Amino acid sequence: MARFRTWVGIAVAGALGLSLAGCSSTGGKRAEDARNAAAQGRAAVNTPRWTFAMITHSGDGDTFWDIVQSGAKQAAVKDNVNFLYSHDDEAQQQAQLVDAAVDKKVDGIIVTLAKPAALKASVARAEKAGIPVITVNSGSAESKAFGALAHIGQDETVAGEAVGDELNKRGRKKVLCVLHEQGNVGHEQRCDGVAKTFGGTVRKLYVNGTNMPDVQSAVEAKLQADKSIDAVVTLGAPYADTAVKAKQDAGSKAEIDTFDLNAKVAAELKDGTLGFAVDQQPYLQGYEAVDLLWLYKYNADVLGGGRPVLTGPQIVTKDQAGALAAYTQRGTR
């Protein structure tokens, strides 16, 4: 026991000493704090402090949803809104979270309909309780039928078609579409959209998105097995970088393109490692959802006229990447 205590003491002292001595003058938490300080502010309105809850189908620790959240939080600060966020990637659990928000008598609900059938009853329950609902990100087809005020997001099929067009423009012949979430209908729509407009052939590859080494080895094996693949499309920003590594290891000449943006993707677009990215502007999805709920509560305004309000697709290439780099760095693009 005494020896254990000694070791703990040494470890704590060592950690303290290292953190004091080893300051970095660039990057890190201090730089992040400086960036964040710019983007806060205070309420610009004096409406009552309403509570809006956002419930998404995100898994734990997904960068995309961090960007959606930061958009929503920014709008919440401006609109004097108490913003609550919860998520679960199991449809039944997500529905229960919506139920809990209804029980809590929040003033507005923002929900993703990645698995629409599972959420139908919960959304209906919210409306019965007189709580306005806005759908974001996924569920453009079901949103209106479920009685939501508006849908904010990207039509996945349209986004896929845009990718197909862009690939045609770049003269590609055979594309590998990498799906990192088995069971996500939106992902299937993206790849099917690519296949719809793309002139060449599209091959689908399913990988386990929560296990990066597995993603890399799967893409690598596919690229080695089929040398005629000249483009890889990943469906999420973190997977683009993994595909680049796989391509290098496999000695393939394929162009890597991706859905969604992050800091790394922006940098790689800039230096030409990646061909292009399709952005659906997640920040805008979170921001607009909160702001539209506020507008509805304040002024009964509804945007979109019963049709989805599209936040994408926006094709980002080398030319625009430089300008976006700063925004991806602070986590808002």
Partner 1 sequence: MSAALDTVPEERIPQGSPLRKLLARPELGSVVGALAVLVFFACTADGFLRASSLGTVLYASSTIGIMAVPVALLMIGGEFDLSAGVMVTSSALISSMFSYQMTANTWVGAGVSLLVTLAVGAFNGFVLTRTKLPSFIVTLGTFLMLTGLNLGLTKLIDGTVSTKSIADMQGFPSARAVFASTLTVGGVDLKVTVLWWLGLVVLASWILLRTRAGNWIFAVGGDREAARAVGVPVNRTRIGLYMGVAFGAWISGQHLLFSFDAVQSGEGVGNELIYIIAAVIGGCLITGGYGSAVGSAVGALLFGMTSKGIVFAEWNPDWFKFFLGAMLLLATLLNHWVRKRAEAAK
Q: Which residues bind partner 1 (CB under 8 A)?
A: 60-61, 82, 84-88, 90-93, 95-97, 99-105, 115, 117-118, 120-121, 181-185, 188, 206
| Residue number with CB closer to partner 1 (85 or 276) | 85
Instruction: For the CB of residue 131, give the shortest distance to partner 1 in the complex, in Å.
Output: 13
Phi, psi (rounded to 5 degrees) for 174: -140, 120
Instruction: For the CB of residue 104, give the shortest distance to partner 1 in the complex, in Å.
Output: 5
Counted residue by residue, the chain has a size of 333
| Residue number with CB closer to partner 1 (28 or 183) | 183
DSSP code for 200: S
Look at the block and give the residue holding tokens 């609902």. 133
Instruction: For the CB of residue 77, give the shortest distance to partner 1 in the complex, in Å.
Output: 16
Beta bridge partners of 52: 83, 108
CB 73 within 8 A of CB 67: no
Q: List Cα–Cα distances, 94 to 10, 61, 153, 183, in angstroms.
A: 45, 16, 19, 15
Look at the block and give the residue holding tokens 């976006």. 324
Residues 6+ apart with CB under 8 A from 130: none
Instruction: For the CB of residue 278, give the shortest distance to partner 1 in the complex, in Å.
Output: 21
SS3 sequence, 194-205?
HHHHCCCEEEEE
CA–CA dist 264, 270 (Å, integer): 10
Q: Compute, in degrees rounded to 10, the torsion defined by CA atoms 40, 41, 45, 46.
A: 110
Instruction: For the CB of residue 191, give the shortest distance to partner 1 in the complex, in Å.
Output: 12
| Residue number with CB closer to partner 1 (144 or 204) | 204
Tokens of 22: 């080893």
| Residue number with CB closer to partner 1 (186 or 275) | 186
Region of 108 please: left (phi>0), alpha (psi -120 to 50) or beta. beta
Find how far residue 315's CA is from the centre of its chain.
Answer: 16
Instruction: For the CB of residue 229, give the shortest distance to partner 1 in the complex, in Å.
Output: 22
| Residue number with CB closer to partner 1 (130 or 272) | 130
Instruction: For the CB of residue 89, give the shortest distance to partner 1 in the complex, in Å.
Output: 8
| Residue number with CB closer to partner 1 (125 or 174) | 125
| Residue number with CB closer to partner 1 (57 or 151) | 57
Instruction: For the CB of residue 232, give the shortest distance to partner 1 in the complex, in Å.
Output: 21
Find how far residue 172's CA is from the centre of its chain.
Answer: 27
Instruction: For the CB of residue 103, give the shortest distance to partner 1 in the complex, in Å.
Output: 4
DSSP string, 58-116: --TT-HHHHHHHHHHHHHHHHTTEEEEEEE-SSHHHHHHHHHHHHHTT-SEEEEE-SSH
| Residue number with CB closer to partner 1 (74 or 184) | 184
| Residue number with CB closer to partner 1 (277 or 293) | 293
Q: Euclidean distance between the first and final Cα of the chain, in Å? A: 51
